[in-house]
């Protein structure tokens, strides 16, 4: 492989410099992406391999990231489980028949990922061919608590009232849902690895809405189940949680090789809290990319210094914002590629 910095950093091996990529790096901040979306709805884009491959590769070609993440959506496996999903970038995800009863949970299936989501594996295989070893390919999935939140709320939420109501008043039903989602995600991620994903990231994006006790009871066990059941030897695993500062030490017991953290945590403090055996990913505030290339470069280099050049992957603390200028995104990537004084 020509550039395996990300894989080596994830495994704790020596690197010549800190690798860098961005969550949501294939997206609306790129004019080339918007041109494709002008004629293609979001779900069609996710399910059409040639288009998904093209938008996956755009950040590598345009701004020079150290890894490509396949273009998809965390709700693709939810649709495969039997719940209707509507995806639009304007309104966000909509699930018109939200899960509210045990009977609905029981009707969900644990799908065969090849049969139900074979287009995802086609995207991965094609990307590996197109990349030809240039940089690593990242596959991903949503974690059970975050997916359950979408499935029960029927979309995004400000207060997660419905999912927490079930969590507190019907824990048996809620655990049954989480367990079924876990089984589906294990199969889905292992199929991605078999298809050629060289790194995988599990997005438990909204688990930060939980207290430490609730995270330990309702999110962490299912993260642990997934990470214990995937092929780490073929693909190191990253766990991302937005708002994880309250339970970072518990997050470190998930079984992930890399913890991707939000910008609210000081990187040096995070290292002190989790110890030297895990890689940290992050954690620039995405809004910094709305400033100037000079500020972005300075902030990125501060993070690189804080990361110490070992077991650190430079990234944002959440996804890149659609209004980010392309030259600012490029400045962030280039900051990792220049030698620090």
- Annotated catalytic residues are 24, 28, 37, 73, 150
- Cα-Cα-Cα-Cα torsion 158, 106, 200, 330, nearest 10 degrees, comes to -30
Cα separation, 270 vs 245, whole angstroms: 8
Respond yes or no on whether the N-terminal peptide bond of residue 283 is cis (omega within 30° of 0).
yes
Considering Cα of 213, then 214, then 220, then 221, what sign does the dihedral take? Answer: positive
Cα separation, 299 vs 116, whole angstroms: 43
Cα separation, 148 vs 18, whole angstroms: 34
Residue 84 in contact with residue 95, Cβ under 8 Å?
yes
Closest CA to 210 of 170, 164, 158: 164
Rg (CA), the chain: 19
Cα separation, 125 vs 129, whole angstroms: 6
What are residue 12's phi and psi, to 5 degrees? 80, 20
- With left for phi above 0 and alpha for psi between -120 and 50, is residue 98 left, alpha or beta? beta
Cα separation, 20 vs 176, whole angstroms: 38
Tokens linked to 275: 């110890």
């Amino acid at each position: 492989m020509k550039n395996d910095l990300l894989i080596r950093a994830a495994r704790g091996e020596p690197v010549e410099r800190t690798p860098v990529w961005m969550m949501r790096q294939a997206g609306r901040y790129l004019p080339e992406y918007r041109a494709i979306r002008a004629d293609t709805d979001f779900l069609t884009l996710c399910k059409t391999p040639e288009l998904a491959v093209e938008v996956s590769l755009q950040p590598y070609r345009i701004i020079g990231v150290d890894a490509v993440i396949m273009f998809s959506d965390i709700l693709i496996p939810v649709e495969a489980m039997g719940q209707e999903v509507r995806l639009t970038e304007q309104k966000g995800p909509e699930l018109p028949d939200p899960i509210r009863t045990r009977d609905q949970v029981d009707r969900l299936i644990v799908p065969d990922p090849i049969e139900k989501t074979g287009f995802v594996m086609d995207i991965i295989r094609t990307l590996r061919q197109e990349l030809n070893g240039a940089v690593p390919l990242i596959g991903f999935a949503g974690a059970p608590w975050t997916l359950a939140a979408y499935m029960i709320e029927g979309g995004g939420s400000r207060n997660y009232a419905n999912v927490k109501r079930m969590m507190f008043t019907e824990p048996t039903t809620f655990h049954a849902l989480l367990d079924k989602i876990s089984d589906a995600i294990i199969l889905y991620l292992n199929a991605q690895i078999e298809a050629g994903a060289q790194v995988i990231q599990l997005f438990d994006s909204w688990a930060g809405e939980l207290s430490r006790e609730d995270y330990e009871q309702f999110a962490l066990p299912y993260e642990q189940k997934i990470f214990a059941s995937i092929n780490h030897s073929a693909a190191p695993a990253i766990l991302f949680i937005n708002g994880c500062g309250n339970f970072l030490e518990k997050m470190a017991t998930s079984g992930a090789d890399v913890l991707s953290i939000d910008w609210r945590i000081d990187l040096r403090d995070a290292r002190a809290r989790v110890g030297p055996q895990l890689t940290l990913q992050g954690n620039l505030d995405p809004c910094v990319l709305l400033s100037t290339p000079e500020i972005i470069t300075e902030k990125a280099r501060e993070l690189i210094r804080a990361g110490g050049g070992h077991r650190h992957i430079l990234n944002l603390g959440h996804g890149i914002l659609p209004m980010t200028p392309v030259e600012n995104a490029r400045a962030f990537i280039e900051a990792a590629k220049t030698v620090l004084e």
